[in-house]
């Protein structure tokens, strides 16, 4: 493999000398060392499709001796003393696994670390807190995308590693490479990118690996996420190798030959080749690990962090007890506070949680707001409800209930969160409602045109009340801020809800479009949004079906003035009448669609087969260069369908592809209908404060024969590629939940389970955690939005890359649909397997996760597989919807039709 240098040796030597002498405090974010970096965090510039960055072998750097600084002068040797807390400065290199490290350190250190991004503090600020305030006991440098040779990727970390020689530092992945780089080692491409895959590790037995086994079949297996490595042959004498991969072979998490166990497979047959997995400085307390000890699938990861705490304690214990006692302790509540004046306060002892399901059972119940502590301006809500026991099956199920209560007039202004697949207790409740109650309203949010950079975010919110009156307001702080304030303004009496088995007590039901990533992570949307970025009903009258007990609930919330008793009476009467009629084949009341030709043009894709495959290959180049571990590449297929029967289309979709997180939404004023048959939960927060995500990564088509179908299921379950895809997103979701969950409470009760649906098998994992008491429902969503299964990891860099590759806005696809309840609970899906009908055009989004092991042709086929059902349902609906001249042969042909992507 050849590399091209982007700077001459003399330029490199001059630049490095300036850096090492500390002459330019802003050099790491203003001047590249060896190559032009495409991604500038604080700018709005997007990368070009053609800017697949080429890495260079870094020249050796020999650090100059730093004189006249604070480093190395602050401590005197003295008696040993154990630290009560270990206070960590955690440098985030814009990674999506940093908060997994945060969670581990919170448990082990007795206090959460302070997380700052690598360009958040100036060098003067860092020196002040490290050497004047003596605020930190050690430093951990996170993983991240890119290379340590690029200042925009590594920020201040190089200078920390050079100058903070008297503070214990642990670098993970990118931080490990940075430790090698600053001392003169070369950074090169690995023989192959390794992401979400496992290796067995041998180590030297040094303190960092104390008590951990070593070598093949020892049980010490670790997860790797990297495309670059330190060239072991260029390791300078200052750095000592302490760990290496025991062979070139990687391991699947699950092995077909031994069920749920980790096997070394054929690793012992592979020729041994040293791949450096750990280093330490010979005299400074600095360590680096190429693998990820924080990954859910790494064995002995927590032990490594405990050993680093021990290294820190031993280091400070050998110094003056006076100097240690003067160190100020943080207050946990202030650690993430941007107000620096509150940064240094005493720390209370922290209660730890263990990462297992048993502990999760003992979480304290979520304390809901009460009327007694309400303040002025709050909205007081009361609730009335009735339970109709065992009624659902007697009236033909939720389909007939929806059609009877809310299906009139094309089901305008209605919603249906539809658990149409309830096997294996995947989902228990369905929620449905429509316009009618006095508190009903529709809120529609449209983002600013991204060409107007006056505001980083913001947009226009239109609010329509039940009488049709509309007001429009500019939201400078965006939709999430509006929604957060709305939800926190509601108060109610808990006794009104006693006896209800579900968590939705009325509130907002609708969708968040993918474009709202500008309010949670991204600084800019590259593509123009055609549909509203968010659209929600405030629902005050609705019905709930309990699929477990076959009960139906009809619910009304009110402000104490109009109690909506009349609607409850009316709904109960209609349902009982439906029971008496035995109407199990009820159809929605809707008008006919416009005539259409039997010669139907196919859906037109945004990208041809050749373009999509080319984009897959570009993704793999980004992955090879360390820019991403996994990229969820998508495209859109579109078709003009006119004013058709959208509710009929949804009923056909739910019949052909029943799913636990299906949904129907009809925003009539926006000429927008959403027909969703999603199998994936994005995020849920229940009334006990437990967050749950259920990402899907890994999909394979089902067979018509049971034997072949079972073989396909096993093929998916034991595919190393699909396991790697799933593991990367599981670690990403653990990170996202870790931002808002109690330390130690995030755990994975189910990892890589295969679930079977009507047309596909999918690999699903479950992540749960206990929400922090000071985090709101909207805080939780913002921390994880958009869903990591639709972006890849690291999330921010991956979204930048995907925006540069994809040719149009994703719109509602890749966003989420669900509810935000007045009691601060929510349940949201991932918008996949969905037909969006907007202004007479149907669109279907589809895609897949691209990893280093991906086959471009197979990725294209997988994308078509995911689009097949919603696309075919549209084709069938166009032929059969109210067509008197459509024959049975036409219907069969339409059902068998598979679109040729143009």
Query: What letter would DSSP give residue 128?
Result: I
CA distance linking residue 277 with residue 289, whole number of Å: 6
Closest-CA residue to 66 (of 130, 176, 160, 190): 160
State the DSSP string of 413-466.
TEEEEE----GGGS--EEEEEES-STT-EEEEEEEPPTT-TTSSS-EEEEEEET
Residues 667 and 646 sit within 8 Å (Cβ to Cβ): no
What is the DSSP pairing of strand 681-685 with strand 826-829? antiparallel
Residues 411 and 675 sit within 8 Å (Cβ to Cβ): no
Name 111's Cβ contacts closer than 8 Å, sequence gap at least 6: 85, 86, 87, 329, 330, 332, 335, 347, 350
Among 176, 195, 292, 838, the active-site one is 292
Name 492's Cβ contacts closer than 8 Å, sequence gap at least 6: 368, 369, 371, 380, 381, 382, 383, 505, 822, 823
Tokens 């949904």 belong to: 663
- State the Cα angle at 775 between 769 and 779, rounded to 5°: 95
CA distance linking residue 244 with residue 41, whole number of Å: 33
- State the Cα angle at 481 between 786 and 693, rounded to 5°: 30
Closest-CA residue to 664 (of 334, 444, 403): 403
The burial class, CB within 10 Å (0-12 / 13-18 / 19+), for 469 is: exposed
The interaxial angle of helices 609-624 and 795-805, nearest 10 deg, is 150
Provide the token pair at 172.
Answer: 């993970």
Residues 809 and 838 sit within 8 Å (Cβ to Cβ): no
Q: 3-class DSSP state for residue 570? A: helix
CA distance linking residue 605 with residue 607, whole number of Å: 5
DSSP H helices, 225-377, are 301-317, 321-325, 357-360
CB atoms near residue 501 (< 10 Å): 13
Residues 488 and 375 sit within 8 Å (Cβ to Cβ): no
Residues 212 and 304 sit within 8 Å (Cβ to Cβ): yes
Across 679-829, the runs of DSSP E, i.e. the strands, are 681-685, 690-694, 696-701, 747-756, 760-770, 792-793, 816-821, 826-829
Among 104, 163, 200, 294, the active-site one is 294
Give catalytic status of residue 294 as yes or no. yes
Closest-CA residue to 63 (of 126, 8, 113, 18): 18
Closest-CA residue to 821 (of 510, 531, 525, 363): 510
**Bridge partners for 602 per DSSP:** none
Q: What is the rounded end-to-end Cα distance, in angstroms, of the chain?
A: 37
Among 127, 164, 173, 675, the active-site one is 173
State the DSSP string of 66-105.
P-SSSTT-S--B------SS--EEEEE-S-SSHHHHHHHH
What is the DSSP pairing of strand 286-289 with strand 169-172? parallel
Closest-CA residue to 305 (of 105, 115, 113, 136): 105
Q: Which helix (H) or strand (E) holds 862?
A: helix 856-880
CA distance linking residue 564 with residue 30, whole number of Å: 63
Give catalytic status of residue 334 as yes or no. no
Which residues participate in catalysis according to the annotation?
173, 292, 294
């Amino acid at each position: 493999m050849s590399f091209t240098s982007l700077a001459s040796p003399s330029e490199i030597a001059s630049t490095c000398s300036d850096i090492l002498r500390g002459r330019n405090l802003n050099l790491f974010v203003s001047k590249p060392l060896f190559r032009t970096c495409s991604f500038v965090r604080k700018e709005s510039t997007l990368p070009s499709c053609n800017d697949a960055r080429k890495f260079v072998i870094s020249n050796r750097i020999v650090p100059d001796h730093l004189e006249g600084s604070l480093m190395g002068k602050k401590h005197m040797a003295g008696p040993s003393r154990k630290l009560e807390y270990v206070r960590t400065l955690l440098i985030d290199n814009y990674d999506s696994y940093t908060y997994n490290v945060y969670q581990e350190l919170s448990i082990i250190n007795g206090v959460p670390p302070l997380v700052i991004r690598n360009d958040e503090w100036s060098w003067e600020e860092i020196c002040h807190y490290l050497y004047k305030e003596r605020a930190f006991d050690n430093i951990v440098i996170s993983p991240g995308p890119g290379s340590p040779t690029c200042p925009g990727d590594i920020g201040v970390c190089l200078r920390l590693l050079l100058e903070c020689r008297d503070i214990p530092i642990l670098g993970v992945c990118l931080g490990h490479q940075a430790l090698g780089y600053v001392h003169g080692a070369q950074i090169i491409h690995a023989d192959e990118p390794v992401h979400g895959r496992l290796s067995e590790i041998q180590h030297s037995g040094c303190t960092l690996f104390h008590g951990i086994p070593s070598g093949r079949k020892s049980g010490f297996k670790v997860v790797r996420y990297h495309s670059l490595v330190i060239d072991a042959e260029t390791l300078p004498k200052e750095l000592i190798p302490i760990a290496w991969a025991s062979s070139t072979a990687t391991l699947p998490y699950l092995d077909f030959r031994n069920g749920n166990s980790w096997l070394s497979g054929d690793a012992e047959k592979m020729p041994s080749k040293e791949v450096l997995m750990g280093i330490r400085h010979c005299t400074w307390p600095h360590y680096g690990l190429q693998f990820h000890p924080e990954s859910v699938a790494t064995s002995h990861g927590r032990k490594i962090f405990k050993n680093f705490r021990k290294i820190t304690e031993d280091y400070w214990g050998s110094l003056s007890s006076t100097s240690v006692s003067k160190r100020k302790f943080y207050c946990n509540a202030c650690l993430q506070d941007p107000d620096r004046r509150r940064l240094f306060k005493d720390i209370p002892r922290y209660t730890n949680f263990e990462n297992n399901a048993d502990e999760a059972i003992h979480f304290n119940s979520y304390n809901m707001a009460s009327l007694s502590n309400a303040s002025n301006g709050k909205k007081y809500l009361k609730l009335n409800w009735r339970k109709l026991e065992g009624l659902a099956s007697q009236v033909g199920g939720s389909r007939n209930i929806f059609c009877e209560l809310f299906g009139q007039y094309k089901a305008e202004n209605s919603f249906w969160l539809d658990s149409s697949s309830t096997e294996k207790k995947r989902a228990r409740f369905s929620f449905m409602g429509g316009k009618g109650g006095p508190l009903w309203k529709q809120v529609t949010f449209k983002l600013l045109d991204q060409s107007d950079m006056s505001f980083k975010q913001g947009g226009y919110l239109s609010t329509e009340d039940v009488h049709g009156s509309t007001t429009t307001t500019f939201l400078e702080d965006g939709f999430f801020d509006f929604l957060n304030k709305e939800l926190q303004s509601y108060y109610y009496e808990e006794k009104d809800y006693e006896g209800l088995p579900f968590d939705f007590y009325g509130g907002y039901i609708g969708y968040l479009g993918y474009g709202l990533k500008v309010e949670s992570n991204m600084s800019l949307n590259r593509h123009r949004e055609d549909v509203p970025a968010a659209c929600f009903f405030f629902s005050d009258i609705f019905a709930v079906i309990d699929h477990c007990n076959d009960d139906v609930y009809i619910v009304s919330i009110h402000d104490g003035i109009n109690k909506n008793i009349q609607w409850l009476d009316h709904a109960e009467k209609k349902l009982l009448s439906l029971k008496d009629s035995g109407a199990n084949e009820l159809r929605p009341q809707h008008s006919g669609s416009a005539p259409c030709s039997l010669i139907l043009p196919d859906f037109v894709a945004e990208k041809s087969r050749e373009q999509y495959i080319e984009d897959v290959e570009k993704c793999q180049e980004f992955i090879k260069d360390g820019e991403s571990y996994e990229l969820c590449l998508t495209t859109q297929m579109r078709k003009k369908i006119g004013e058709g029967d959208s509710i009929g289309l949804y009923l056909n979709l739910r019949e052909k592809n029943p799913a636990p997180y299906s949904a129907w939404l009809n925003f009539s004023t926006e000429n927008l209908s959403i027909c969703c048959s999603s199998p994936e939960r994005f995020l849920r927060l229940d009334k006990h404060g437990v967050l749950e995500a259920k990402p899907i990564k890994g999909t394979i088509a089902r067979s018509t024969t049971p034997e072949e179908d079972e073989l396909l299921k096993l093929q998916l379950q034991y595919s190393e590629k699909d396991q790697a895809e799933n593991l990367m997103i599981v670690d990403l979701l653990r990170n996202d939940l870790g931002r808002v969950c109690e330390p130690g409470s995030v755990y994975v009760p189910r990892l890589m389970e295969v679930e079977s649906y009507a047309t596909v098998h999918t690999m699903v994992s479950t992540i749960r955690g206990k929400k922090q008491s000071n985090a709101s429902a909207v805080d939780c969503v913002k921390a994880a939005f958009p869903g990591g299964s639709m972006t890849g990891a690291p999330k921010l860099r991956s979204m930048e890359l995907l925006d540069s590759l994809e040719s149009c806005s994703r719109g509602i696809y890749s966003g989420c649909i669900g509810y935000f309840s007045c009691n601060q609970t929510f349940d949201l899906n991932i918008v996949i397997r969905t037909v969006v009908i907007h202004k007479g055009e149907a669109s279907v989004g589809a895609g897949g996760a691209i990893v280093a092991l991906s086959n471009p042709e197979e990725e294209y086929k997988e994308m078509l597989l995911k689009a097949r059902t919603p696309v075919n349902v549209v084709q069938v609906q166009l032929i059969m919807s109210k067509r008197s001249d459509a024959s049975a042969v036409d219907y069969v042909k339409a059902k068998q039709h598979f679109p040729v992507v143009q």
